[in-house]
Amino acid sequence: MKSVRAVLDYFVSGNVSYIFGIPAGSVNAFFDELYDTPSITPVVAKHEGAASYMAAAYAKYSGDLSICIGSSGPGGTNLLTGAANAMREHLPILFLTGAVPVGTVGLNASQELHADPIYQSVTKYSSRVDRAEDLLPEIHKAVDIALTGVPGPVHIAMPIDVQLTSVPFQTLPVFPTREPLIPADQQVQEAVTHLSESKSGYIFVGQGIRDAVDDVLELAETLNWPIITSPQAKGLIPDNHPLVKGIFGFAGHETASKFIHEVETETVLILGSSLGETATNNYNPKITENRFTIQVDFDACVFNRKYPVDVGIHGDMDLTVSALNTGLKNQGHHRNPVTSETRPLPLTTEEYNTQNVLTSLQEKLPATTRYTIDIGEFMAYVIHHMKVPTYDTFDINVHFGAMGSGIGSAIGAKLADPDRPVVSITGDGCFFMHGMEVLTAKEYQIPVLFVVMNNSRLGMVHHGHSLQYKRVHGSFSQEPVDITQMAKSMGVPSARVESLDELTLETVQGLMDGNGPAVLEISLVDENVPPMGDRVKFLSSFGK
C-alpha cells in the first residue's frame, strides 16, 4: 500500500473525525486517500490560517488531537501562525505539510520550502520524512509528543514521492493517549500545610483550570479565599459566585486591581496561569509581592519565570487541586456553603455604544451560548462587561492575539460541541482577513452566528495610538463597507443594525434558527475609550 494510506488507517484507529486544511498538488495523494476513508471529513477552508484556528478550537473543546494540512511552500507558511497560537495555548495539533520530491530538493522546485526548521520554534517537534517506510513511524512519534506531558502542536513535512511510494504491510502502532501528570506528594503536602496555616490569601486563576473548575470552587470555599481571574479565564467561573473579585489584567476590573494593590494577604495561590503580560497588567509585581506564592501548572517552565515561587506543584490541574482539597479535609477543614449573589447588570443607557450592544445581544441569546472572541476593541468590552452565566462561555485568545482567529475558532468549536450554540464576535478588520470562512460554514452547514462589529477602522489601533501618541493616522480607517451585502452575495442570511432599537429579539432569533451560518452586522463607531483597565494608564503615560 501507499505510505500515505497507512497514515490514514492510523488516523482512523485513533477515531479522528475531521482534518482541516486545503488540498494542493503536494498533498493531493493524502486527499485522494480520503475518498476511501468515509469516517474522516476533510473540512476545506478558504485559508490555511483559518483552518489552523478551526483545528485549535476543535482540539480545545473535543479534548482530542486535531489534524491540519497544507501544501508545501505558501500553505506551510500560512499554517505557521496557527502553530504558534496552538503552542501558546498548549493544544495538541498535528500539522502536516506537503514537500517537493526528495530528488528535487535544492533545485528550485515549485513551492519548495524547507519547512521543518521553520516550525521548530513554534512546535514541540518538527521533521521532514524522506523515506516512505519512515512516514507512519514518524507521524506516530509526533502524535505521541503532541499528547504527552504538556500538550502542544507538532509538524511533519511529507514529500510528494514519499506519500506515493508503496511500502510493505505495516502493523499500525497503538494510537497514543495522554497519561496524566500526577503531582509529587511532597509538594502537595507542603502546599496543604501552608494553606492550612495561612490566615489570609487569594486565588489567581488562568485558563488552565478549564477541566478543574468544580475542584477550584471547592478549594476556594474551603479556604474562604477570594478568586481573581485572568482575561483568558473569563467564562470559567460564574460571575455571581460571592468569592469572585473580578478579572485582573487586560480589560480587567477595578475591584480586582484594588484588591491586589490594597488588601494585604499572606498567600497567593496561582492556578493554571502562566502569568503573561496580559494576565498581569504588564507584569505587575503586586500580584505576589510580600506574599507566600504557591503555583500549580502542568507546564513547569512557568515556575519562577517572572514571579518567584515558594512552592511550585507540577501536575494536572484536576488531580492537583483535588489532592489539595483532600489534604485540607484530612487536616479538619470543611467546605463553607455559599449562596450565589444576584448582581445587577451593568448600567446601560439609550446610547448606541459597544457596551450596550453586547449587553443587549447577550440578553437575547441562550445562556449556554459559547462566544469565540476575536481581536479588537470589542474584546475589551467583552472581557469587562459581558456576563458568565454558564461554564466555559468565552473563548478568548488575548495571549497570541491573532486577528481573525475568532472566526475559524467558532467553526472548530461548533464541530467539537455541536449541541451548544456558538456565536463569533468579530470586527470588520478581522472579517476582512478571514471572513470568507463564513462560506466554509455554509458549505458544511455549520450553524454559527457571526456578529461583526463594523466601525470602518482598526479600532484597537485607533484607540492605542490616540492614548499613546495623541494622534491617529488616517490610514487606520477606511470607507464603510456593507458586510451584509457581502454575506448576501454568499447566500448567507444576514441583518444590519444601525441603532440599539434595531437589535431586536426577532432579529437575533431569526438568524439563529437556520441550519447554517448567519451574519449580524453592527454598524457602529464608538468613540468611547475601551475599558482596558490599567492598560489605559500604561498607554496614556507611555514615554513620560
Which residues make Cβ contacts (< 8 Å) with residue 471, sequence separation at least 6? Answer: 465
Q: What is the largest CA-CA distance in the chain?
A: 72
The pLDDT assigned to 170 comes to 83
The pLDDT assigned to 421 comes to 97
Grid cell listed for 39: 469516517
The pLDDT assigned to 383 comes to 95
Distance CA 42, CA 20 (A): 6
pTM of model > 0.85: yes
What is the 3-state secondary structure of 216-270? HHHHHHHHCCCEEECHHHCCCCCCCCCCEEEECCCCCCHHHHHHHHHCCCCEEEE
Backbone angles phi, psi at 399, to 5 degrees: -60, -65
Q: What are 269's strand-pairing partners?
A: 203, 294
Grid cell listed for 336: 463553607
Count Cβ atoms below 10 Å from residue 478 Cβ, excluding itself. Answer: 13
- Contact criterion met (CB below 8 Å) for 234 and 214: no
Q: What is the DSSP string of 299-323?
A: -GGGTTSSS--SEEEES-HHHHHHH
- Give kind and range of the element (H or E) at residue 145: helix 135-147
- Give kind and range of the element (H or E) at residue 379: helix 377-385
The pLDDT assigned to 345 comes to 59
- Give kind and range of the element (H or E) at residue 64: none
8-state DSSP, 121: G
8-state DSSP, 457: B
Grid cell listed for 213: 473548575
The pLDDT assigned to 476 comes to 65
Task: Kindly tell me the sign of the dihedral angle through the C-alpha atoms of 105, 107, 110, 114.
Answer: positive
Which residues make Cβ contacts (< 8 Å) with residue 91, sequence separation at least 6? Answer: 56, 59, 60, 66, 151, 152, 153
Distance CA 119, CA 223 (A): 44
For residues 283, 289, 382, 376, the Cα torsion angle rounded to the nearest 10 degrees is -10
Q: Which of 402, 425, 401, 400 is nearest to 413 (CA)?
A: 425
Q: Which of 173, 176, 132 is nearest to 151 (CA)?
A: 176
The pLDDT assigned to 318 comes to 98
The pLDDT assigned to 338 comes to 84
Which residues make Cβ contacts (< 8 Å) with residue 193, sequence separation at least 6? Answer: none
Single-letter residue type at 390: T
- Contact criterion met (CB below 8 Å) for 154 and 138: no
CA distances from 227 to 208, 258, 471 (A): 14, 13, 38
Radius of gyration of the chain (CA): 24
Q: Which of 211, 109, 95 is nearest to 158 (CA)?
A: 95
- Contact criterion met (CB below 8 Å) for 477 and 466: no
Tens of pLDDT, residue by residue, the chain (544 residues): 899 999 999 999 999 999 999 999 899 999 999 999 999 999 999 999 999 999 999 999 999 999 999 999 999 999 999 999 999 999 999 999 999 887 767 777 667 788 999 999 999 999 999 999 999 999 999 999 999 999 999 999 999 999 999 999 889 999 999 999 999 999 999 999 999 999 999 999 999 999 999 999 999 999 999 999 999 999 999 988 999 999 999 999 999 999 999 999 999 999 999 999 999 999 999 999 999 999 999 999 999 999 999 999 999 999 999 999 999 999 999 998 888 776 665 556 789 999 999 999 999 999 999 999 999 889 999 999 999 999 999 999 887 878 889 999 999 999 999 999 999 999 998 999 999 999 999 999 999 999 999 976 555 655 465 666 667 666 666 788 899 999 999 999 999 999 999 999 999 999 999 899 999 999 987 767 777 766 555 554 455 5
Q: What are 205's strand-pairing partners?
A: 229, 271
8-state DSSP, 132: G
Distance CA 410, CA 395 (A): 9
Domains and CATH numbers, the chain: 3-164 (3.40.50.970), 185-330 (3.40.50.1220), 354-540 (3.40.50.970)
Single-letter residue type at 251: A
